[in-house]
Structure 1
Amino acid sequence: MNGLLKKSIASAALAASALVLPAAHAAPPGDLKGTNVVLVHGAFADGSSWDKVIPLLEARGLHVVSVQNPLSSLADDAAATKRAIDAQTGPVVLVGHSWGGVVITQTGDDDKVKALVYVAALAPDAGASVNDMMKGKPAPAWAGELHKDSGNYLTLSTNAVIHDFAQDLPPAQARTLAATQGPWFAGALDDKVSVAAWHTKPSWYVVADQDRMIDPHAEAAMAQAIGATTSHVDASHVVMVSHPKAVADAIIAAASKIQ
């Protein structure tokens, strides 16, 4: 009887271990270890705008750095991004949101950068500025909600953040974004990129289909112009806050391709 009992216990233990194995395999693998992701935020934001995306990337073994742009000029933001790239060991996926797309276009020609990911971002060609890209187009509604301070820095009104910048977030969260936004130097709108890295680096683009800051049709056109692998998300301009998994998936796809 004792032998029979021992046999039953051993069989039960074996069955239990078999049940545990699939769960272990289902855990997010660290298969992208050795690859770095440098995240570049846009105007009216800061590095914390990526806080929901970062854990999803780290779960795949990626090393992630979020740049704190001074938003004082293209040259200053590019310098901050370049320092972050220089600090990495191994290949870099460079990601830019909004104005951050201009910054990664300028800095993405670095040898360490192996892929670019544009997230509801501007993707200018060499010699173009933001104002050049917007020339001849009707002014968006939010343009009338800009406030300029004594130092020529721009901020968005709380109303514009709630209704145009982050309309798919709870109003309380949008108000927090408005209160913590990074002022953007108005002169940066005329800063021209001297190089367009997307000519030589593979690119991905996340189009925010409900974007009210940048026309989604313009985003799709930019994605096509740069030959990007494109995904569409039914989201506001701050797609990385409202739909972090969709943004993380695009970054992970880029990282997987360069491994």
Structure 2
Amino acid sequence: MQPITRRSFSAALVAGAALSMLPAASRAATVTKAKNVVLVHGAYADASCWLDVIPHLQAAGLNVMAVQNPLTSFADDVEATKRILALMDGPTVLVGHSYSGMLVTEAGVDPKVTALVYIAARAPDAGEDYTALAKQYPTPPASAGLVHNGGYAQLSEEAFVRDFAGDLPVARAKALYAVQGRISDTLFTAKTTVAAWRSKPSWYAVSKNDRTINPDLERFMAKRMNATTVELDASHVSLISQPRAVADLILAAAGQSEHI
């Protein structure tokens, strides 16, 4: 596999101090070599969104499992993530996309987790109101496309195709729309109780063309956690449109030296 520096995206180490009393975790001089990767999907998706990333990780000899979140509550999703983590034997990289960045932040304190990877993901601090944080940035267009019914919400087809998966072929985006995970209306009101990125080395992939989470908010969160950061010319679903680039970042976090 090609190293990140040879991929068609810009990569830079984003350094910055944490904005609270406790220091953010900085990248260690030597990365712990992991044998496992746990992938966690976000809202409006399911575990199949990782299908194009998984083969690259398996080809590198990693044991890979993807969490299937119920999206019924934050607590339910955290438990789903913990159940998969419990199956892992040894050092594990925990990866979250979008909303599941909150799950990675909460569950990532597990001692077997050696690194965290955020893919265009939420990364709140412990007890932080993510909604209030996000309001400090222009509202992304996808927010206007939420459709609520019976205590659950989903993105309209137009919003999904244009604002969530805007760099995918329309036919693929429409297929993903059809199987999107419906979320509980209460899903986004929860707060994390811990912030694993304060004690674990972290990596972050910013989606420069994101219309679901503001890219500048992504950059802020990546900088705050002192994450090793790459910027991708991608929509919110870079894990589908640029799976090799996303896999390269995960491999770096797993201590695959040729990808650092």
Whole-angstrom distance in 2 between the partners of 1:33 and 1:215: 32
Deviations 1:3-62 (A, max 9, x none): xxxxxxxxxxxxxxxxxxxxxxxxxxxxx9961000000000000000000000000000
Percent identity of the aligned residues? Answer: 51
Query: What is the Cα deviation at residue 257 of structure 1?
Result: 6.5
Query: What is the Cα deviation at residue 217 of structure 1?
Result: 1.2
- Structure having greater relative contact order (Cα 8 Å, sep ≥ 6): 2
What's the counterpart of residue 110 of structure 1? 110
Query: What is the Cα deviation at residue 149 of structure 1?
Result: 1.3
The amino acid of 2:250's aligned partner reads I
Deviations 1:147-179 (A, max 9, x none): 1111x1110011011110011000000001110
Deviations 1:182-232 (A, max 9, x none): 001121111010000000000000111111101111111110000100011
Q: What does 1:8-157 align with in structure 2 at a 5 Å threshold?
A: 35-150=35-150, 152-157=151-156
Instruction: Give TM-score, length-normalised by structure 2.
Output: 0.84
Unpaired runs of at least 5, structure 1:
1-31
Structure number with greater Rg is 1
What's the counterpart of residue 214 of structure 1? 213
Structure number with the higher helix fraction is 1
**2:34/2:255 contact within 8 Å kept:** no
Q: What SS does structure 1 have at the residue aligned with 2:95?
A: strand
What's the counterpart of residue 244 of structure 1? 243
Whole-angstrom distance in 2 between the partners of 1:129 and 1:50: 28
Q: What SS does structure 1 have at the residue aligned with 2:71?
A: coil
**2:139/2:214 contact within 8 Å kept:** no
- Structure 1 residues 234 and 182 mapped into 2: Cα distance closer, same or farther (>3 Å)? same
What's the counterpart of residue 6 of structure 1? none
Q: What SS does structure 1 have at the residue aligned with 2:121?
A: coil
Whole-angstrom distance in 1 between the partners of 2:153 and 2:100: 16
Whole-angstrom distance in 2 between the partners of 1:104 and 1:34: 16
Q: What SS does structure 2 have at the residue aligned with 1:248?
A: helix
Q: What SS does structure 1 have at the residue aligned with 2:209?
A: coil
- Structure 1 residues 33 and 194 mapped into 2: Cα distance closer, same or farther (>3 Å)? closer
**1:47/1:67 contact within 8 Å kept:** yes
Q: What SS does structure 2 have at the residue aligned with 1:256?
A: coil
**2:137/2:214 contact within 8 Å kept:** no
Whole-angstrom distance in 2 between the partners of 1:125 and 1:136: 15
Instruction: Give TM-score, length-normalised by structure 1.
Output: 0.84
RMSD: 1.6
The amino acid of 1:134's aligned partner reads A
**2:33/2:254 contact within 8 Å kept:** no
Unpaired runs of at least 5, structure 2:
1-31
**1:33/1:63 contact within 8 Å kept:** no
Whole-angstrom distance in 1 between the partners of 2:97 and 2:247: 13
Query: What is the Cα deviation at residue 142 of structure 1?
Result: 2.0
Query: What is the Cα deviation at residue 239 of structure 1?
Result: 0.1
**2:78/2:107 contact within 8 Å kept:** yes
* Number of aligned residues: 226
